[in-house]
Amino acid sequence: MNKKEAGERIFRLRKELNRHNYNYYVLSQPEIRDFEYDMMLNDLIELEKRFPEFYDKNSPTQRIGDDRNQVFVKKEHKYPMLSLENTYSQEELNDFDTRVKKIIGNDREYVCELKYDGAAISLLYDEGKLVQAVTRGDGLRGDDVTANVKTIKSIPLVLRGDDYPSLFVIRGEIFMSREGFRKLNAEMEKKGKTLFANPRNTTAGTLKMLDSSVVAKRPLDCFLYHLLGDELPYDSHYENLERAKDWGFSISPHMTKCKGINEVFDFISKWENARQDLPFDIDGVVLKVNSYRNQRQLGFTAKSPRWAISYKFKAERTVTQLLSVDFQVGRTGAITPVANLKPVLLAGTTVKRATLHNDDQIKLLDLHYGDTVFIEKGGDIIPKITGIDKTERPPEQIPVEFMTTCPACGTALIRKEEEVQHYCPNETGCPQQIKLKIIHFVSRKAMDIDGLGEETIELLYENGLIKSIDDLYKLKKEQLILLERFAEKSADNIIHGIEESKNVPFSRVLFGLGIRYVGETVAKTLANSFQSVDALMNAGFDELLGINEIGYSIAQSIKDFFSKTENRGIINRLKKNGLKFELSEDEKELRSSKLEGLNIVISGTFENHSRDELKDIIEKNGGKNSSSLSSKTNFLLAGKNMGPSKREKAKKLNIAIISEDDFMKMIQ
Ligand code: IVH
């Protein structure tokens, strides 16, 4: 092949490949198979190597990137890159519409677009060729990321046709689809690398990567939404973007023309509801006045155009800064790290703090003070930090280290090997633990003592009146009255409430003791199974494990609790004060653990009990009532009118069928 033939073939291949790129990445309508495309591309790579005189930085071969490190040069924007005024409310959109109407009258036309959650990019085309791609930067100057942007297949390197302006800028958003992001993270996981936080951050980070051959492998995409230039074909936004499709640009198919503000509201509510169905993230809707003449009439403020506004959906994810980390001591001594954040609006509320769970979580995030962090609100209300924007971390930031001593009492913290939590072991001396234990003891689900809230407990503790839960029963009205803020009435109330608490049933007293892992339900199970605190205290490890729903950690925690002299002392003193440390006679009669571990199905109608009563009896005796027969069922409690198919099924599964009488005998 001579030079002339090679040149011709190179140009033909480039043209063909550009066309297929456009079909595939912009129109999503490929005409050839991937294999054929790759063969053509390989052909071109070979030829360009053999005939370097035909090198062209906009050749389709340049999309594979270059692994030589690049430095990002700052480039001035030809037109400043402004941002948009944001609003979260429909009233403000109405105000915007009113302002527009005042200046351009009723004949206004809007264009609604989606607000893509990625990274803004400004592309400069000269004679149909991409010559520069610059990030937003400070709006006046941004980073030249041309080499990286060239790897994005939906951005044309050479334009189609010949009716494009000779020099123009087109701006848009580079983003990563959710699916692309998911796949990328799956790969990272396979390689044992740290996962990316979210598509937006990954996009921004990828654009600033030094090695464009890595960028080429990332699934970046782009929608363009803003044309700027002196010779644009139309005097309106929508029409120009429509035309830009023919030049090879990927223009969002969701762009819609609207007459008046009500159509705009329709567009917003449609996408607010359907945003989850889109393959990529959006964080709102952008509203623009269509006519350039009208845009010129409206003009700009210092920061943003007066002819456009963005309506942001209530954020589910946002970015803020980590200011400091508190280490909170819990009732059982567990230390929870809590992040103090620069206040930020998220899904309608201001977020200032987020839990960090434990040290493993801090290490996993690789959290540093001053970090720019992503926070999210999941289904629950508690916000959490899901990732860090490491590109924003100045070099001198120091990593967040877990505390080594208790912030409340100074005792060295411990972390057992198999546990993720750090603990302050000073259970009986740590003031924070003591206060929280008392607060738990008087709380509604435990002793439910009226008039004793967190602040009062704090006050009583600080004045040396209570040092442990049993001290509550020594309190005298005269002592309370001497305290600030106490009137005769409130003092009476508290003393009365404390007296009343002596009638609280055993299971709630047990719950109130605050044994680690012994919640409301476990306390009930334990009370029913052992019937008294003495029996529970003397129970062996295996005996505890033998009870349904009591596992190793609970059993260990119970043994630990009762092995401490201080705890036994507290229980003795509480007993002396008349608190209930065993089931009442009534409770004993009704409750047992006779049906412990048994799965019982009720069917039919009964002589002496309703089905609900039977269900209640089963549960009070430690059994479980299920609605359908299975291999796990132990008994079928059968009444009259039970269907034959149930009986058949019970027989097949070898399940014993018992009558109401048999059942009552079982629990007597
Ligand atoms: S128009 C002067 N249209 O939102 C017009 N921006 O604060 C400026 N964005 O930095 C931009 N989707 O990154 C426009 N359909 C859209 C957009 C959009 C996302 C981003 C863009 C810009 C920011 C505006």
Residue 83 alpha carbon, nearest atom of ligand 1: 7
Between 2-11, 249-258, 532-541, 606-615, the lowest mean confidence (pLDDT) is in 606-615
* CA separation for the pair 310, 304 (Å, rounded): 11
Q: Cβ contacts of residue 40 below 8 Å, gap of 6+?
A: 13, 16, 17, 20
Residue with CA at minimum distance from ligand 1 atom 23: 83
Q: Cβ contacts of residue 492 below 8 Å, gap of 6+?
A: 477
Tell me the per-residue pLDDT of 276-297, one tens digit each, with 9 for 90 and over.
789 998 989 999 999 999 999 9
* CA separation for the pair 407, 417 (Å, rounded): 22
Decide whether any atom of ligand 1 lies within 6 Å of the 307 Cβ.
no
* CA separation for the pair 633, 630 (Å, rounded): 5
If one residue of 207, 225, 264, 292 were mutated to test the ligand 1 pocket, choosing by the most ligand atoms within 8 A of its CB, it would be 225
* CA separation for the pair 371, 238 (Å, rounded): 40
User: In angstroms, what is the span from residue 269 Cα to ligand 1's centroid?
Assistant: 19
Pairing label, strands 656-658, 282-289: unpaired
Q: Do domains 431-503 and 506-589 have the same CATH topology?
A: yes
What is the per-residue pLDDT for 69? 62
Q: Cβ atoms within 10 A of the Cβ of 241, count?
A: 22
Q: Cβ atoms within 10 A of the Cβ of 522, count?
A: 21
If one residue of 77, 117, 135, 173 were mutated to test the ligand 1 pocket, choosing by the most ligand atoms within 8 A of its CB, it would be 173
Cβ pair 163, 234 in contact under 8 A = no
User: In angstroms, what is the span from residue 342 Cα to ligand 1's centroid?
Assistant: 25
The arithmetic mean of pLDDT across residues 626-639, rounded, is 89
CATH architecture of structural domain 592-667: 3-Layer(aba) Sandwich (3.40)
Superfamily covering domain 317-392: Nucleic acid-binding proteins (2.40.50.140)
Residue 283 alpha carbon, nearest atom of ligand 1: 19
Residue 124 CA neighbour count, 13 Å, CB half: 15
* CA separation for the pair 162, 243 (Å, rounded): 12
Residue with CA at minimum distance from ligand 1 atom 17: 115
Q: Cβ contacts of residue 556 below 8 Å, gap of 6+?
A: 541
* CA separation for the pair 126, 164 (Å, rounded): 10
User: In angstroms, what is the span from residue 65 Cα to ligand 1's centroid?
Assistant: 27
Residue with CA at minimum distance from ligand 1 atom 2: 82
Tell me the per-residue pLDDT of 615-628, one tens digit each, with 9 for 90 and over.
878 888 878 888 88
User: In angstroms, what is the span from residue 644 Cα to ligand 1's centroid?
Assistant: 68
Residue with CA at minimum distance from ligand 1 atom 21: 120
What is the per-residue pLDDT for 381? 57
Decide whether any atom of ligand 1 lies within 6 Å of the 121 Cβ.
no
* Strand ranges of the sheet holding 308-312, from the earlier edge strand across to the other edge: 86-87, 308-312, 282-289, 109-116, 256-259
Going by pLDDT thresholds of 50, 70 and 90, the confidence category of residue 379 is: very low
- Measure the CA angle with vertex 135, ends 130 and 139; round to 5°: 120
User: In angstroms, what is the span from residue 93 Cα to ligand 1's centroid?
Assistant: 17
Going by pLDDT thresholds of 50, 70 and 90, the confidence category of residue 442 is: very high
Decide whether any atom of ligand 1 lies within 6 Å of the 225 Cβ.
yes
What are the angstrom distances between the C-alpha of 291 and each of 104, 267, 302?
10, 19, 21
Burial class (CB in 10 A: 0-12, 13-18, 19+), 313: middle
What's the first-to-final CA gap in the chain, in angstroms? 102
- CATH number assigned to the domain covering 3-64: 1.10.287.610
506-589 domain in CATH 3.50.30.40?
no
What is the per-residue pLDDT for 347? 66
Question: Could you list the active site residues?
Answer: 115
Cβ pair 304, 352 in contact under 8 A = no
User: In angstroms, what is the span from residue 83 Cα to ligand 1's centroid?
Assistant: 7
3-state secondary structure of 475: coil
Cβ pair 466, 437 in contact under 8 A = no
Sign of CA dihedral 368, 371, 376, 377: positive
Decide whether any atom of ligand 1 lies within 6 Å of the 408 Cβ.
no
If one residue of 116, 170, 249, 300 were mutated to test the ligand 1 pocket, choosing by the most ligand atoms within 8 A of its CB, it would be 116
Residue 117 alpha carbon, nearest atom of ligand 1: 19
Tell me the per-residue pLDDT of 455-487, one tens digit each, with 9 for 90 and over.
999 999 999 999 999 999 999 999 999 888 788
Tell me the per-residue pLDDT of 512-523, one tens digit each, with 9 for 90 and over.
999 998 988 889
If one residue of 82, 171, 226 were mutated to test the ligand 1 pocket, choosing by the most ligand atoms within 8 A of its CB, it would be 226
**Nearest Cα residue to 74 out of 148, 168, 143, 165:** 143
Decide whether any atom of ligand 1 lies within 6 Å of the 113 Cβ.
yes
- Measure the CA angle with vertex 42, ends 37 and 45; round to 5°: 130
Residue with CA at minimum distance from ligand 1 atom 16: 115
Decide whether any atom of ligand 1 lies within 6 Å of the 45 Cβ.
no
Decide whether any atom of ligand 1 lies within 6 Å of the 119 Cβ.
no
Cβ pair 23, 30 in contact under 8 A = yes
Tell me the per-residue pLDDT of 136-145, one tens digit each, with 9 for 90 and over.
988 899 999 9
* CA separation for the pair 58, 133 (Å, rounded): 13
- CATH number assigned to the domain covering 103-296: 3.30.470.30
Domain ranges of the chain: 3-64, 103-296, 317-392, 431-503, 506-589, 592-667
Going by pLDDT thresholds of 50, 70 and 90, the confidence category of residue 93 is: very high
What is the per-residue pLDDT for 590? 66
Distance of CA 91 to the CA centre of its chain: 29
Between 19-28, 59-68, 605-614, the lowest mean confidence (pLDDT) is in 59-68
User: In angstroms, what is the span from residue 308 Cα to ligand 1's centroid?
Assistant: 10
3-state secondary structure of 501: helix
Decide whether any atom of ligand 1 lies within 6 Å of the 82 Cβ.
yes
SS3 labels along 196-215: CCCHHHHHHHHHCCCCHHHH
Q: Cβ contacts of residue 176 below 8 Å, gap of 6+?
A: 118, 184, 199, 202, 203, 206, 218, 219, 220, 221, 280
Decide whether any atom of ligand 1 lies within 6 Å of the 237 Cβ.
no
What is the per-residue pLDDT for 95? 95
Residue 304 alpha carbon, nearest atom of ligand 1: 2
Decide whether any atom of ligand 1 lies within 6 Å of the 84 Cβ.
yes
Residue with CA at minimum distance from ligand 1 atom 6: 115
User: In angstroms, what is the span from residue 528 Cα to ligand 1's centroid?
Assistant: 63
Q: How confident is the prediction for the chain on average, in pLDDT?
A: 90
If one residue of 223, 227, 310, 319 were mutated to test the ligand 1 pocket, choosing by the most ligand atoms within 8 A of its CB, it would be 310
DSSP E strand boundaries for 136-204:
141-143, 167-176
What is the per-residue pLDDT for 520? 85
Going by pLDDT thresholds of 50, 70 and 90, the confidence category of residue 315 is: low
Q: Cβ contacts of residue 297 below 8 Å, gap of 6+?
A: 103, 104
What are the angstrom distances between the C-alpha of 33 and each of 15, 37, 486, 537, 622?
17, 6, 84, 75, 66
Between 57-71, 159-173, 208-222, 510-524, the lowest mean confidence (pLDDT) is in 57-71
What angle in degrees, to the nearest 10, is found between the helix axes of 431-442 and 454-462? 140
User: In angstroms, what is the span from residue 85 Cα to ligand 1's centroid?
Assistant: 10
User: In angstroms, what is the span from residue 84 Cα to ligand 1's centroid?
Assistant: 7
Cβ pair 363, 344 in contact under 8 A = no
Please state whether 347 falls in left (phi above 0), alpha (psi between -120 and 50) or beta. Answer: left
Which class is 431-503 in CATH?
mainly alpha
